[in-house]
Amino acid sequence: MKGTPMSVITTEHRKAPSLLTARRKRSGYAASAGLLLAALLTGCAGSAKAGSSALQASGSTTVAPVASDAAEALKSRGLKITVATQGGSAGGISQLGSGQIEVALSSKPLSDEDHKAYPGTDFVPTQIGADAVGIIITKEVADAGVRSLTKEQVKGLFEGKITNWSAVGGPDLKVFVYDKEPGRGTREVLDKFVYGDEKPPAPPQSGNYAVVGGNLETRNKLKSTRGSIAPLSTGFIEGHDDLVAVALEGVTPSIENVASTKYPMTRPLFMITDGKPQGAVKEYIDYVVSAKGQKLLTPHGYLTREQMGM
């Protein structure tokens, strides 16, 4: 593989998450380590050199748990796969573009900027499923009356113009915003919902605003801060009754609403390669989109390709 090998970051784990409350009775998933080892790889995709010691996948903390579970399942086939969450979706795309990895994990579509930044890379995305990004608040705030937010209210909250929950029907409690890092797929979904094709403004200069990285960090911050709000995959709050995903414009992130994309913050989940997948990379991705591999999405709260009508 060309380029300097990247450092491996352990993927985040969570307790039996799912997309919706209705899925709570489904079985929890077996946590997978970020570094998954087996026998020697025999082939790679795109510009990666055949015979590399390991296939490397990196990027979105949303896609990583599925990627890890698939890698664990493929150990018996003699594949050695590492899964990392370095820099989120943008980081994975950047690493693929610079030849450091074979598979980028992304919870956002490729942009024109990605193609311009790496003109020598033939980005080929494979959608493995879909997810809902929720606007997550604490149960304390939800119980006080905040169950649905409009686009304008979400905009006001994240721009720091709404600073007390009483302004949107909640308790007399200060708002604390945990926002996602630029380049994270979650943040891009939020920006698309609030601003459309317009460029979002600079973050507010406020002591009640902070930027967080991955999904696990976001959830931990929400749970530890009264009056907090953040964008987060709805699957990550399953089993955490102190956190609530509010409806947006009156639309809840139900299975039906996500599958039909009626819920406005639905997003696709991708595995991206440099060129058409070949060798072990093809075997890896083919497994994820197979009937057996698609079963890995449900315990994490994601919708399968079939549920999305693909």
Residue the block writes with tokens 């920006």: 191
What's the CA gap between 5 and 78, in Å, rounded?
21
What's the CA gap between 163 and 175, in Å, rounded?
5
Q: Is 141 left (phi over 0), alpha (psi -120 to 50) or beta?
A: alpha
Query: For 152, what's the count of Cα atoms within 13 Å in the CB-facing half-sphere?
Result: 2
Confidence band, pLDDT 50/70/90 cuts, at residue 282: very high
Task: Give residue-wise pLDDT tens across range 59-93.
Answer: 999 999 999 999 999 998 899 999 998 889 999 99
Which residue in 169, 175, 142, 162 sits closest to 252, CA to CA? Answer: 142
DSSP 156: H
Q: Which residues pair with 191 in a beta bridge?
A: none
DSSP 305: T
Answer whether 130's CB lies under 8 Å from 266's CB.
yes
Q: What predicted TM-score, i.e. pTM, was given to this entire model? A: 0.78
Residue type, 303: L
Task: Give residue-wise pLDDT tens across range 161-171.
Answer: 999 999 999 99
- Which stretch of 29-33, 135-139, 168-172, 265-269 has the lowest confidence by average pLDDT? 29-33
In this structure, what is the dihedral angle of CA atoms 176, 263, 24, 136, given to the nearest 10 degrees?
A: 0
Token pair, residue 7, equals 């450092």
Task: Give residue-wise pLDDT tens across range 206-239.
Answer: 999 999 988 999 999 999 999 999 999 998 998 8
Answer whether 246's CB lies under 8 Å from 134's CB.
yes
Q: What is the mean pLDDT of the chain?
A: 85
* pLDDT of 129 higher than 90: yes
What's the CA gap between 297 and 63, in Å, rounded?
9
